[in-house]
Structure 1
Amino acid sequence: MSTAMTYYQQAIKTELPSMEVPGSNGFIGDIAVSNDKDKTIVGGFFRMEKSDEPLVYEYTYHEMKIIVEGEMIITDQEGTTVHAKVGDVFYFPKGSVITFQSPNYGIGFFCGQRKEGEA
């Protein structure tokens, strides 16, 4: 018998590993992963802190993100820029090149169509 739900108490407080991009303070961690081998989805947190350099990220999968704390400046490859605040939701299709910055820090919860650790 499978569990109907999994509970991750205070998951937002999870220490996130660095994305290890020189000059950029981006951190990401997968929290929850589906067991569906054909249509795996991953949920977790992304934290962007004020940095010398923005984080430029190319999506190799589809992702949705909601800003849950702080703020970020998010720019797509076409030059559209959004000053994202708590409650703002984004969809990044596979192939998107997105630039993340923050005047202080921001945390987003994401759900991506990928396997664990593929970010």
Structure 2
Amino acid sequence: MSSGEKTTAGPVAMAYYAKASSVKPPLIANENAFLGDVSCSTDSDKPMSAGFYRLEKGTPLVYEYNYHEMKIIIEGSFDISDETGTKAHGVAGDVFYFPAGSKITFTTEDFGLAFYTGQRARDSA
């Protein structure tokens, strides 16, 4: 075996989070923006976090990403725009990629729920 190969002591277990999308994430901003990490990697070089983001009707959330993130809308809808003028009305099944450095504005007519995966450590959003 060469010095660059990794070895494992045995099988590595998966993680399972039953009905995770039914738990309302914690409030993170304003009166209507909720976000919570469900699972995070332990890789310190390339961390990865995943969880749910919910926005309810009310104050728009403006967020500047310092990491790469992808979101898939699973319920409701979002109106999403960036500083370049790009705008989209996202509904269930739509996928968004937010590169590091992008400044994104999220709004909704009612509510939106999205699953995200970001290249960041746990609770560092």
User: What secondary structure does 1:19 align onto?
Assistant: strand
Residue 34 (structure 2) aligned to one of 27, 37, 42: 27
Calculate the TM-score normalised by the size of structure 2.
Answer: 0.88
Deviations 1:46-86 (A, max 9, x none): 001100x2110000110000001110100011111101000
2:107 aligned partner, one-letter code: Q
Q: Which residue of 1 aligns with 2:56?
A: 49
Distance 1:20 1:81 in 2: 22
Q: Which residue of 2 aligns with 1:4?
A: 13
User: How far 1:95 moved relative to its partner?
Assistant: 0.6
User: What secondary structure does 1:71 align onto?
Assistant: strand
- Aligned positions, number: 116
Q: How does 1:9-88 map to 2 (within 5 A)?
A: 9-21=18-30, 24-51=31-58, 53-88=59-94
Q: If you compute each CA radius of gyration, which structure gives the higher value, 1 or 2?
A: 2
User: How far 1:2 moved relative to its partner?
Assistant: 5.3
Distance 2:63 2:34 in 1: 12
List gaps (5 residues or longer) in structure 1: none
Q: Which segments of structure 1 move beyond 6 Å, counting only runs of 4 or more? A: none
Distance 2:44 2:95 in 1: 27
Q: Is the 8 A contact 2:46 2:119 kept in 1?
A: yes
What is the percent sequence identity of the aligned residues?
Answer: 49
Higher mean C-alpha displacement, 78-87 vs 12-21: 12-21
1:7 aligned partner, one-letter code: Y
Coordinate RMSD, CA, aligned? 1.2
User: How far 1:20 moved relative to its partner?
Assistant: 2.5
Distance 2:60 2:47 in 1: 29
1:69 aligned partner, one-letter code: E
Distance 2:123 2:57 in 1: 24
List gaps (5 residues or longer) in structure 2: 1-9
